[in-house]
Amino acid sequence: MLEFQNVTLKVQENTEEKVILSDINLELQSNKIYVITGPNGGGKTTLSKLLMGIRQPTSGKIVFDGQDITNLNITERAKLGIGYAFQQPPRFKGLKVRELLELAAKTDNNEVDLCKLLLDVGLCPQDYIDREINNSLSGGELKRIEIATILARKLKLALFDEPEAGIDLWSFQKLIETFKKLHEDQKVTLVIISHQERIIELADEVIVVGDGHIVKRTTKEDILTQVTSDSACGCNAVCDRRR
pTM over 0.75: yes
Can you list the pairs that 97-101 forms with residues at least 24 positions away whose Cβ atoms lie under 8 Å?
97/128, 97/129, 97/130, 97/131, 97/132, 97/133, 97/145, 98/129, 98/130, 100/133, 100/145, 100/149, 101/148, 101/149, 101/152
Mean pLDDT across 61-87: 93
Element housing 19 (H / E): strand 16-28
- pLDDT, one tens digit per residue, over 20-39 is 999 999 999 999 999 999 99
Of the listed ranges 68-72, 83-87, 106-110, the least confidently predicted one is: 106-110
Q: What is the pLDDT of residues 138-194, one digit of tens each?
A: 877 888 888 888 888 889 999 999 888 777 777 788 788 888 888 888 889 999 999
User: What band does 240 get if pLDDT is binned at 50, 70 and 90?
Assistant: very low
Q: What is the rounded distance in angstroms from the CA atom of residue 154 to the CA atom of residue 108?
A: 6
Q: Which residues pair with 161 in a beta bridge?
A: 193
Collect all residues with Cβ–Cβ distance below 8 Å to 147 and sequence separation of at least 6. Answer: 85, 121, 160, 163, 175, 178
pLDDT at 70 over 80: yes
Q: Could you tell me the pLDDT band of residue 237, with boundaries at 50, 70 and 90?
A: very low
Mean pLDDT of the region 121-146:
88
